[in-house]
Amino acid sequence: MLEIVLFYIASAVALAATIMAMTRTNAIHALIYLIVSLLGVAVIFYLIGAAFAAALEIVIYAGAIMVLFVFVIMMLNLGEAGSQREQQWLKPSIWLGPAILASILFVELLYVLSAVEGTASVGAIPVKEVGLTLFGPYVLAVEIASMLLLAGLVGSFHLGRRYLERSDEFFNQPNAVIKETNESNDSNEAAKTNEQNLSNQKTAPEVAWKD
C-alpha cells in the first residue's frame, strides 16, 4: 500500500517535471526539469524492484546524456551576453521549481531507504540474474548494441569534425570572423559558398592522404 502511494508521488513529480521541461523557452531550464523527470522515473524503477535499472537511469541518462546536452548548449552559446545570463541563472524563480520537485523525490528516497524491510524489495529481480541473462541468451544483442555505439561514435565524429575545424579557422583568422558575421543575413547563400570553400580547401589534404 505504502509503495503505491510512493509510486504515485514519484510519477506525479516525473509528469510535472516533464510538462515543465516541454514548455520552457530556455534550453538550460528545460534541461534541469528533464533531469528531475529522469530522477522521478529512476525512483519508480526502484519501487518496482529494478534497482539496477534505477542506478543505470541516473548514471547514464541523468548523468552522461544530459551532460552531453549541457556541453552542446554551452558550446552554441546562444545570443545574449554571458555575464548577464549568469546573473539571470541565479534568480530563485529559475531553480526553485526543479529544486522543490527534486527535494520531494529526495525525501521519498530517504523514507524508502529507512524503511527497507516490507517495502520495495518484495519481488526485486536480483542484479545477478540480469547479468546472467544479458550475457547468456542476449549476448548477440550486446554485440549489436556495441556496433550501434560504434556507429554513433563514428557518425558524431564525422558530423562534429567540420564544426571543430571551423572554430579553429575562427581562432586563427580574426578577419574571417567579422566577414562571416556581416554576411550572416543571407545565411543560406553564405553557408553554401562557405561550404564550397571549405570543401575546396579540404580536397587537397584528403587526396594527399590517399597516396
Query: Which residues within the stretch 61-120 sit at the binding site for another protein (CB under 8 A)?
Result: 61, 64-65, 68-69, 72-73, 75-76, 78, 119
Distance CA 73, CA 84 (A): 16
Query: In the 8-state DSSP scheme, what is residue 50?
Result: -
Identify which of residues 27 and 99 has a Cβ nearer to another protein in the complex: 27
Q: In the bound complex, what is the minimum distance in angstroms from residue 73's beta carbon to another protein?
A: 7
Grid cell, residue 200, equals 575546396
- Exposed e or buried b per residue across 142-153, where buried means at least 16 C-beta atoms within 10 angstroms of its C-beta: eeeeeeeeeeee
Identify which of residues 76 and 207 has a Cβ nearer to another protein in the complex: 76
Q: In the bound complex, what is the minimum distance in angstroms from residue 52's beta carbon to another protein?
A: 6
Among 87, 100, 143, 162, which residue interacts with another protein (rule: CB under 8 A)?
Answer: 162
Identify which of residues 152 and 210 has a Cβ nearer to another protein in the complex: 152
Among 36, 39, 50, 104, which residue interacts with another protein (rule: CB under 8 A)?
Answer: 50
Among 99, 130, 169, 176, which residue interacts with another protein (rule: CB under 8 A)?
Answer: 130
Counting residues that bind another protein (by CB under 8 A) gives 72
Distance CA 138, CA 3 (A): 31
Q: Which of 28, 35, 41, 109 is nearest to 70 (CA)?
A: 28
Among 96, 107, 115, 153, which residue interacts with another protein (rule: CB under 8 A)?
Answer: 153
Q: In the bound complex, what is the minimum distance in angstroms from residue 164's beta carbon to another protein?
A: 9
Identify which of residues 99 and 130 has a Cβ nearer to another protein in the complex: 130
Among 81, 90, 116, 122, which residue interacts with another protein (rule: CB under 8 A)?
Answer: 122
How far, in Å, are 76, 105, 174, 182 from residue 167 at the CA level? 11, 41, 11, 17
Residue count of the chain, please give it. 211
Region of 84-92, 96-104, 158-166, 199-207 interacting with another protein (CB under 8 A): 158-166
Residue 197 CA neighbour count, 13 Å, CB half: 10
Distance CA 177, CA 169 (A): 9
Distance CA 101, CA 95 (A): 10
